[in-house]
């Protein structure tokens, strides 16, 4: 699995889903994350290797971990 996908899925599952009360939204957004992960594989990991996407995922991970985002 890709770093970008893993980061996005973990934040969604651990930080966002518990705050929602809309099961359909949870399902639909989760399905979108999964579809993006599948697309990443079809594109030979092209999304995960994209510099802009990688930086955004790292900044999100740093924020959630409570570290200063640079």
- pLDDT score recorded for residue 18: 96
Question: How do the domains of the chain map onto residue ranges?
Answer: 3-64
Whether 62 shows a pLDDT value over 90: the answer reads yes
Residue 68: which pLDDT band, with cuts at 50, 70 and 90? confident
User: For residue range 3-49, what is the model confidence (pLDDT) as tens digits?
Assistant: 999 999 999 999 999 999 999 999 999 999 999 999 999 999 999 99
pTM higher than the cut 0.75: yes
Structural tokens at position 50: 């994209």
Could you give the C-alpha distances from 64 to 12, 15, 57, 59, 69, in angstroms and in order? 11, 8, 11, 9, 10
């Amino acid at each position: 699995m890709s770093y970008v996908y893993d980061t996005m899925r973990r934040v969604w599952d651990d930080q966002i889903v518990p705050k929602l009360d809309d099961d359909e939204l949870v399902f639909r957004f989760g399905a979108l994350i999964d579809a993006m992960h599948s697309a990443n594989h079809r594109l030979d990991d092209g999304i995960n290797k994209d510099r802009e996407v990688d930086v955004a995922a790292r900044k999100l991970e740093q924020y959630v971990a409570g570290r200063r985002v640079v």
